Structure 1
Amino acid sequence: MDHFEEDSGLLQLTEEQEAEEQHQSDQSVLPTGSQDETQDHESPTQGQEQNSTEEWDTDLETGDAPKKRQNLPHSELYLQACQRTGTVPVSSFFHLVDEPNVNLNHYGVGPMGAKALSIALQFNTDITNLELEDNALQAQGTRYLMEMLQTNISIQSLNLSNNQLHLEGADIISKMLLDNYYIKSIKLSGNEFDDSAAKYFADTLKGDYVVKELDLSHNKFCEAGGEHLGHMLATNVGIEVLNLSWNHIRMRGAVALSAGLKVNSTLKQLQLSWNGFGLIEAEPLGQALKQNSTLEFLDLSNNRIDDQAVTLLCQGLATNDTLRVLKLSCNPMTNVGALTLLKTITNNTKSGLEEIDISTVFVCEAFVELLEEAHQRRPAMDVQYSVMSSVTRNLSALHIFQKFLDNRNESVMDFFKALDKEGTMMVSTSAFRNAIKAADIPLDQRQLDWLVRKFDKNCTATIIYSQFAES
Structure 2
Amino acid sequence: MSSMKLSKLEQMTTSTESSYEECNYLESSKNIGQHENEDNLNQISNGDMCLGYLPLSSSSVFRHPYYSYPGVVNPGIVEALLQPEPRIIYSDDGQELYLALCKKMGLSPISIFYKKLLEEHVNLKYYGVSPMSFLPIAISLKNNKYVKTLDLTDNWISTDGCFHLGDMLIENITLQELNLSGCRIGPVGARQLFAGLQINRSLRKIDLTKNCLEDVGVTSLAKAIVKGSDITDINLCYNELTSQSLLTLVEAFETYNKLTHLDLSWNSFLSPNAIFSLCAKLSENKELQELNLSWTAISGLRVGKAIKNLLTNPNIKSLNLSNNKLSSVEIKHIAKGLEDNKGLKVLDISNNPLTPKDAFILLICLKDRKVKVQKLFLDNVFVTIEFLVLRQEILSLKYRQNAIITWGGLITKFVPTVGDMREIVLKRADAICSKSKKKVVDIVLIILEMFKANKEPIDVKQFTRTLRINGIYMDEGLLDELCNAFTGPPGTGKTIDLVNLVDYLKRLWPDRQLPPTPPIKIDKPTENVKKNRKTK
Give the TM-score normalised by structure 2: 0.58
- Residue aligning to 1:153: 173
Choose which of 335, 346, 349 in structure 2 pairs with 1:325.
346
Correspondences of 1:69-148 after superposition (within 5 Å): 69-71=89-91, 74-148=94-168
* Amino acid across the alignment from 1:312: H
- From 246, 251, 268, give the equivalent of 1:226: 246
Number of equivalences: 333
What code does the residue aligned with 1:371 have?
A: R
Matched residue, 2:283: 262
Aligned to 2:407: 385
Greater shift, 240-249 or 313-322, is seen at 313-322
Question: CA, structure 1 residues 360+87, in 2 after alignment: closer, same or farther (shift >3 Å)?
Answer: farther
Residue 372 of structure 2 is matched in structure 1 by: 352
Superimposed CA distance per residue, residues 284-315 of structure 1 (whole angstroms, 9 cap, x where no aligned partner): 33332342121111111111112332223223
Deviation digits for residues 320-348 of structure 1, max 9, x if unmatched? 111110111122223221111112332x4
CA distance in 1, matches of 2:255, 2:366: 30
Task: Tell me: CA distance 1:329–1:199, structure 2 relative to 1, closer, same or farther (3 Å).
Answer: same
Instruction: Please tell me whether the aligned partners of residues 319 and 348 of structure 2 are also in contact (alpha carbons under 8 angstroms).
Output: yes
Instruction: Provide the C-alpha distance between the structure 2 equivalents of 1:173 and 1:72, rounded to a whole number of angstroms.
Output: 23
Write out per-residue CA displacement over residues 212-246 of structure 1, whole angstroms, 9 at most, x where no aligned residue: 21111110110111111233345434310111111
Task: Answer whether contact 1:208 1:237 (CA < 8 A) is retained.
Answer: no
Tell me what 1:468 maps to.
none
Q: 1:158 to 1:329 in 2, by over 3 A?
A: same
SS of structure 2 residue aligned to 1:105: coil
Change beyond 3 A, Cα 1:97–1:318: same
What is the CA–CA distance in structure 2 between the aligned matches of 1:318 and 1:72, rounded to whole Å? 54
The offset of 1:389, in angstroms, is 9.1
Going from structure 1 to structure 2, the CA distance change for 1:288 and 1:203 (only over 3 Å counts) comes to farther
- Distance of aligned partners of 1:357 and 1:234 in 2 relative to their CA distance in 1, 3 Å threshold: farther
1:272 paired residue number: 293
Q: 1:74 to 1:175 in 2, by over 3 A?
A: closer
Alignment of 1:329-348 (within 5 A): 329-346=350-367, 348=368
Whether 2:322 is the aligned partner of 1:306: answer no
CA contact (8 A) 2:376 2:405 kept: yes
Provide the residue aligned with 1:201 in structure 2: 221
Closer/same/farther in 2, CA of residues 158 and 196 from structure 1, 3 Å limit: same
Residue deviations 1:389-427, cap 9 Å, x none? 969xxxxxxxxxxxxxxxxxxxxxxxxxxxxxxxxxxxx
Which letter does structure 2 place at the counterpart of 1:150? Answer: I
* Residues 52-100 of structure 1 deviation map (CA, whole Å, 9 limit, x = unaligned): xx97xxxxxxxx95xx442387433222222333433223213322110
> Hey, what does 1:413 align to over in structure 2?
none
CA distance in 2, matches of 1:334, 1:88: 60
- DSSP-derived class of the 2:377 partner: strand
User: Is the CA contact (8 Å cut-off) linking 1:231 and 1:260 kept in structure 2?
Assistant: no
Return the offset for 1:260.
Answer: 1.1
Amino acid at match of 2:116: L
Q: Secondary structure at the match of 1:359?
A: coil
The question of whether the paired residues in 1 share the 8 Å contact of 2:139 and 2:168 is answered with yes
Unmatched runs of 5 consecutive residues or more in structure 1: 1-30, 35-53, 56-63, 392-471
Partner of 1:177: 197
Using structure 1 for the length normalisation, give the TM-score: 0.65
* 1:288 aligns with one of 290, 293, 309: 309
- Residue 263 of structure 2 corresponds to 243
Matches within 5 A, 1:351-430: 351-377=371-397, 378-388=400-410
Task: For 2:283 and 2:307, locate their aligned partners in 1 and report how far apart those are by CA, in whole Å.
Answer: 10
Once the two structures are TM-superposed, the CA of residue 386 in structure 1 deviates from its matched residue by 2.9
Structure 1's 218 and 85: CA in aligned 2 closer, same or farther, altered over 3 A?
A: farther
Q: Is the 8 A contact 2:194 2:224 kept in 1?
A: yes
Amino acid at match of 1:381: A
The residue that corresponds to 2:533 in the other structure is none
Query: Do the aligned partners of 2:210 and 2:237 also contact (CA within 8 Å) in 1?
Result: yes
Report the RMSD for the aligned CA atoms in angstroms: 2.8
Conservation of the 8 A alpha-carbon contact between 2:237 and 2:265: yes
Q: Which runs of 5+ in 2 are unaligned?
A: 1-71, 76-83, 414-536
Higher RCO (C-alpha under 8 Å, 6+ residues apart): 1
Contact 1:226 1:250 in 2 (8 A): no
Offset of residue 352 of structure 1: 1.0
Identity %: 28
